[in-house]
């Protein structure tokens, strides 16, 4: 297996960090924009799309700031995906930073997938 590359994308989001975090950290919130359905049992989250199912382990979270998951396929690696909420101290603008890992030849595709997902999230939040 080839090494994955780490990448980071920032999205401005018009939302309070508290509301945004609910959509990033709860099964009901995640199933509004990230997957068709999400179930959790303890630290394991099951993401369901059409006919496929992926399991991710919750590696850590800090309320209203960040949440980090690791796909079951990446177990025993250092690969993860993280969603981090950043608030500009001066303007109070809220941004969502996505940190993820992918194969180098799939980087553009992976970024586009996140852009679509975050587009759905913004729609759910009523953000532009």
Instruction: Give tens-digit pLDDT for 11-47.
Output: 999 999 999 999 999 999 999 999 999 999 999 999 9
Domain count, the chain: 1
* pLDDT of res. 1: 53
User: Minimal CA–CA distance to 40: which of 26, 51, 29?
Assistant: 26
Q: Which of 53, 52, 55, 54 is nearest to 44 (CA)?
A: 55
What pLDDT is recorded for position 93?
Answer: 96
User: Which residues, 6 or more positions from 54, have their beta carbon under 8 angstroms from its beta carbon?
Assistant: 46, 47, 71, 72, 73
CATH number at residue 90: 3.30.530.20
**Which residues partner with 48 through β-bridges?**
37, 53
User: Which residue range forms the structural domain that includes residue 53?
Assistant: 4-125
């Amino acid at each position: 297996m080839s090494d994955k590359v780490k990448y980071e994308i920032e999205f401005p989001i018009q939302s309070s960090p508290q509301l945004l975090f609910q959509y990033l950290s709860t099964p009901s919130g995640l199933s509004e924009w990230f997957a068709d359905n999400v179930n959790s049992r303890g630290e394991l989250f099951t993401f369901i799309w059409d006919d496929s199912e992926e399991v991710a382990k919750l590696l850590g979270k800090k309320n209203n700031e960040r949440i980090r998951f690791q796909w079951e396929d990446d177990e025993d690696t250092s690969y993860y995906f993280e969603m981090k909420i950043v608030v500009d101290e001066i303007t109070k603008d809220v941004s969502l930073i996505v940190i993820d890992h992918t194969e180098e030849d799939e980087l553009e595709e992976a970024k586009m997938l996140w852009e679509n997902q975050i587009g759905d999230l913004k729609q759910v939040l009523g953000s532009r």
